[in-house]
């Protein structure tokens, strides 16, 4: 290479941030638990207000927010304190897609582009892409390193400690699934990530062999795949999962049955809440009493999905996210379409951070069936109650007959053990009608029959619904 071929300068990552200052602003574990996690609500409010106003100033520099806010009749001087948050109109993924369509390929919602790689090191990851081309997201150093700190807090809350070997079964690729946990574990926990990825990256049988041979003691993954792994170990390899030495599971429980997972592995399962755009928002501590929101980095609101009215603690609604740390693509009242609620009690751990109860489902995953809103996650919660099933299910929605009546058929995998198929069918149909408020059909099937629809053995992002009415 000639001297003339070399760039004049390269933005080295270690020079792109004041790491000591970042650690003071967003303390990693264990400092977080002695400081920010226990500050008073008054102190937290003051901290949030400073960061919120800085985030709004950044928003006014980004074409997407300029257009979105001016359309709502707002000017920069209208937002003077955190009390003005609700003046800002929410937006959702459809607005992001429209931004990308207007300004391909990256949209105008990020405030940075690949060209900015000349002045700062950037990382590109994407959404899962289950409904189309994955949505790209560029992360500036401030964004990415803070996300790693927030992930480190999550793992420390679960009980992951230095020296643990942590099997990461999230998909490896364009999405954040495997990459973000690796960065958090490696940089801020002292634990060692073992990056097997999903079953498509490393066959499940080989993952079990690795757990046994290397003495892995923590597994991260979605509930369906964690359940699948335990059944492969027990039923195909003749290995009792309880004897593998797993001491905790990190997962995204949602409406899944925690007890079933814990019984299969003989280890506690801890819930968390994170998104591609935001990073790690909330996580359970050892008390398993709801997910602590990292409120120094986020403001979360729970709103009525239809009216946008903010709801009191304890009431379920859609989650609005406002990030307080992001430079590229800040989120300011982003309606992520997840359904949750705030706890109304305090956690025994002593943290002053508010807690989410759980994620009950997604508004955009909901189907309307004969006038009733049905969430696949609610179906799964009922299926998980019946020990004659192994927890795997898939919902088919069709329009039937001359009258075009909506119909849902829930296929349910049976656990091994010779269950009475007719009895399983009638009992689940009865329970689903009680829970959903509408009659659906249940079709029991053999173990493994649903994998072609759910993708459980191949993907960390499991599918549960196929709406064939369109």
Output the DSSP codes for 192-253.
Answer: EEE---STTTS-HHHHHHHHHHHT--EEE--HHHHHHHHHIIIIIS---GGGG---EEE---
Q: How many residues does the chain have?
A: 470
Residue listed under structure tokens 């004659």: 388
pLDDT value of residue 127: 78
Specify the 3-state DSSP secondary structure of 393. strand
Distance (Å, whole) CA 188 – CA 192: 11
Residue 4 confidence (pLDDT): 61
CATH number for the domain whose boundaries are 366-467? 3.30.300.30
Tell me the sheet residues that pair with 376. Answer: none
Here the tokens at position 408 are 């849902």
* Closest residue by Cα to residue 412 from 368, 382, 373, 372: 382
Please state, in angstroms and as integers, the Cα–Cα distance from residue 193 to each residue in 23, 184, 432, following that order: 22, 9, 40
Strand, coil or helix: 116: helix
Backbone angles phi, psi at 334, to 5 degrees: -80, 120
Per-domain boundaries in the chain? 17-289, 366-467
For the chain, which residues score pLDDT lower than 70?
1-4, 128-132, 402-403, 460, 470
Q: Could you read off the pLDDT of 139-167 as tens digits, one per residue?
A: 999 999 999 999 999 999 999 999 999 99
Q: Does domain 17-289 have CATH number 3.40.50.12780?
A: yes
Q: At what angle do helices 376-385 and 421-436 cross, to 10 degrees?
A: 130
Q: Which helix (H) or strand (E) holds 283?
A: strand 279-284
What are residue 138's DSSP bridge partners?
A: 124
Please report where in the chains the tokens 């969430």 appear, as a residue: 375
Q: What is the pLDDT of residue 60?
A: 98
Under a CB-based contact definition with an 8 Å cutoff, are residues 62 and 68 in contact?
A: no
Sign of CA dihedral 410, 411, 412, 414: positive
Q: What is the pLDDT of residues 78-126, one digit of tens each?
A: 999 999 999 999 999 999 999 999 999 999 999 999 999 999 999 999 8
**Which two structure tokens, joined as six digits, stand for 76?**
């920069």
pLDDT value of position 286: 96
pLDDT score at 387: 87
**Residue 247, token pair as written in the block:** 């001491």
* DSSP 8-class letter at 342: B
Radius of gyration of the chain from its Cα atoms, rounded to whole angstroms: 23
Q: What are the residues whose beta carbons fall under 8 Å from the beta carbon of 414, sequence distance 6 or more?
A: 388, 389, 390, 421, 424, 444, 445, 446, 447
Q: Output the pLDDT for position 135.
A: 86
d(CA 240, CA 250): 20
């Amino acid at each position: 290479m000639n001297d003339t071929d070399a760039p004049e300068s390269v933005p080295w990552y270690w020079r792109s941030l004041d790491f000591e200052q970042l650690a003071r602003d967003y303390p990693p574990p264990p400092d977080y638990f002695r400081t920010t996690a226990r500050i008073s609500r008054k102190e937290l409010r003051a901290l949030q207000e400073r960061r919120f106003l800085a985030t709004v100033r950044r928003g006014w520099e980004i074409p997407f927010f300029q257009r979105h806010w001016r359309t709502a009749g707002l000017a920069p001087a209208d937002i003077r304190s955190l009390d003005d948050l609700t003046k800002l109109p929410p937006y959702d993924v459809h607005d992001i897609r429209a931004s990308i369509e207007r300004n391909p390929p990256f949209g105008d919602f990020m405030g940075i582009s690949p060209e900015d790689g000349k002045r700062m090191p950037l990382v590109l990851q994407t959404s899962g892409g289950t409904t189309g081309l994955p949505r790209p997201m560029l992360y500036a150093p401030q964004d990415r390193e803070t996300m790693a700190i927030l992930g480190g807090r999550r793992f420390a809350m679960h009980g992951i400690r230095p020296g643990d070997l942590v099997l990461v079964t999230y998909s490896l690729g364009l999405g954040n699934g495997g990459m973000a946990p690796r960065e958090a574990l490696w940089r801020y926990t002292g634990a060692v990530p073992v990056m097997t990825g999903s079953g498509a990256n490393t066959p499940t049988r080989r993952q079990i062999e690795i757990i046994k041979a290397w003495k892995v003691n923590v597994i991260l993954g979605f509930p369906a795949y964690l359940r699948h792994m335990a059944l492969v170990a027990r039923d195909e390899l003749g290995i009792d999962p309880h004897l593998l030495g797993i001491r905790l599971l990190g997962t995204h429980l949602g409406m899944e049955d925690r007890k079933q997972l814990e019984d299969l592995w003989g280890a506690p399962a801890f819930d968390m809440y994170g998104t591609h755009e935001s990073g790690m928002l909330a996580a359970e501590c050892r008390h398993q009493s709801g997910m602590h929101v990292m409120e120094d980095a986020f403001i979360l609101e729970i709103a009525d999905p239809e009216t946008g009215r903010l709801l009191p603690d304890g009431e379920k609604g859609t989650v609005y996210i406002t990030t307080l740390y992001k430079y590229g693509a800040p989120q300011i009242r982003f309606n992520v379409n997840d359904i949750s609620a705030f706890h109304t009690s305090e956690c025994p751990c002593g943290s002053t951070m508010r807690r989410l109860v759980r994620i009950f489902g997604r508004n955009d995953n909901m189907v309307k069936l004969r006038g009733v809103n049905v969430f696949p996650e609610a179906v799964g919660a009922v299926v998980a109650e019946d020990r004659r099933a192994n927890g795997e299910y898939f919902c088919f929605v069709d329009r039937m007959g001359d009258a075009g009546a909506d119909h849902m058929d829930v296929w349910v995998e049976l656990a091994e053990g010779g269950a009475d198929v007719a009895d399983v069918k009638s009992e689940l149909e009865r329970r689903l009608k009680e829970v959903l408020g509408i009659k659906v059909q249940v079709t029991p099937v053999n173990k493994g029959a649903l994998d072609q629809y759910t993708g459980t053995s191949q993907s960390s992002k499991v599918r549960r619904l196929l709406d064939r009415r369109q």
